[in-house]
């Protein structure tokens, strides 16, 4: 594969995924990791991408203005979501009172839950079903169902949440940004996330690497409000603002 062709394929992958690892590029393109690293250095120097520890990211931030159907999002970053989910599930202890936000990454966490002596509260329809099948004590909050994200939202949901005080909360997000914090496209869903986050003694934000330097229309928390669980931290500056659990380094 000639140099220009390699550069083009690398940039295509970064444009699609926003964040890629050297190992991922090497495997996909069938090129040695040393060659990939040299290519990333050249593209970084040319202002085409940003080289980071272990990989590269797209230049600048991006805007996430809409929610995609949960059935379409479930396959996005599937492996990363599984690893993030397993780590999140390992943090749940006996007698915890846990909130689990609706979302595909939080649903991946539910698949890994083994602690059945905790109590779980959720606004996710499919999440509640999975918890019940596992034999977990489960409370689903009431309100309007948002089909696109399979979430319960609205004023009734907010009223339900105001009764609770969670030991731990687990949240999905569409964007993570230094200034905008954690954000999501829908105002009604942002309200529910915000209410539950503020009522969690410790809030964990489950975010695959593509979510960093992205901003959705509505913020539901500042970086200081939650600890981030991810597989790879593409920008070290985030660690100055909150605790980061980098799963692949645990």
Per-residue pLDDT of the chain (250 residues; tens, 9 = 90+): 778 788 888 888 887 777 788 888 999 899 899 999 999 999 888 888 888 778 887 766 555 554 544 444 445 678 899 999 999 999 999 999 999 999 999 999 999 999 999 999 999 999 999 999 999 999 999 999 998 888 999 999 999 999 999 999 999 999 999 889 999 999 999 999 999 999 999 999 999 988 898 888 999 999 999 999 999 887 788 999 999 999 976 5
pLDDT the model gives residue 66: 47
Q: Give the predicted TM-score (pTM) of the model.
A: 0.76
- The residue with tokens 């059945």 is 116
Q: What is the CATH number of domain 3-60?
A: 1.10.10.10
Q: Are 95 and 72 in contact (CB under 8 A)?
A: no
CATH of domain 70-249: 3.40.50.1360
- In what side-by-side order are the strands of the sheet with 175-177? 175-177, 181-184, 218-221
Contacts with 150 (C-beta within 8 Å, 6 or more apart), sequence order? 70, 102, 124, 125, 126, 127
H-helix or E-strand spanning residue 44: helix 33-45
Q: Do 87 and 104 contact (CB within 8 A), yes or no?
A: no
Domain ranges of the chain: 3-60, 70-249
133-143, pLDDT tens digit by residue? 999 999 999 99
């Amino acid at each position: 594969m000639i140099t220009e062709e390699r550069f083009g394929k690398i940039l295509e992958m970064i444009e699609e995924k926003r964040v890629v690892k050297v190992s991922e590029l090497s495997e996909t393109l069938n090129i040695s990791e040393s060659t990939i690293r040299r290519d990333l250095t050249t593209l970084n120097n040319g202002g085409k991408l940003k080289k980071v520890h272990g990989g590269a990211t797209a230049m600048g931030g991006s805007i996430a203005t809409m929610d995609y159907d949960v059935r379409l999002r479930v396959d996005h970053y599937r492996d990363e979501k599984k690893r993030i989910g397993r780590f999140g599930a390992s943090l749940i202890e006996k007698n915890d009172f846990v909130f689990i936000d609706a979302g595909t990454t939080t649903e991946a966490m539910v698949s890994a839950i083994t602690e059945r002596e905790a109590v779980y509260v959720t606004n996710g329809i499919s999440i509640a079903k999975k918890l019940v099948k596992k034999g977990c004590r489960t409370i689903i909050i009431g309100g309007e169902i948002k089909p696109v994200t399979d979430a319960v939202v609205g004023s009734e949901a907010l009223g339900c949440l105001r009764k609770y005080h969670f030991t731990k909360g687990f949240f999905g997000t569409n964007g993570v940004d230094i200034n905008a914090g954690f954000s999501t496209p829908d105002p009604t869903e942002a309200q529910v996330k915000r209410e539950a986050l503020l009522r969690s003694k410790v809030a964990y934000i489950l975010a695959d690497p593509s979510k960093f330097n992205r901003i959705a229309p509505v913020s539901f928390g500042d970086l200081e409000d939650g600890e981030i669980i991810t597989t790879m931290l593409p920008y070290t500056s985030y660690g100055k603002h909150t605790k980061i659990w980098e799963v692949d380094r645990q």
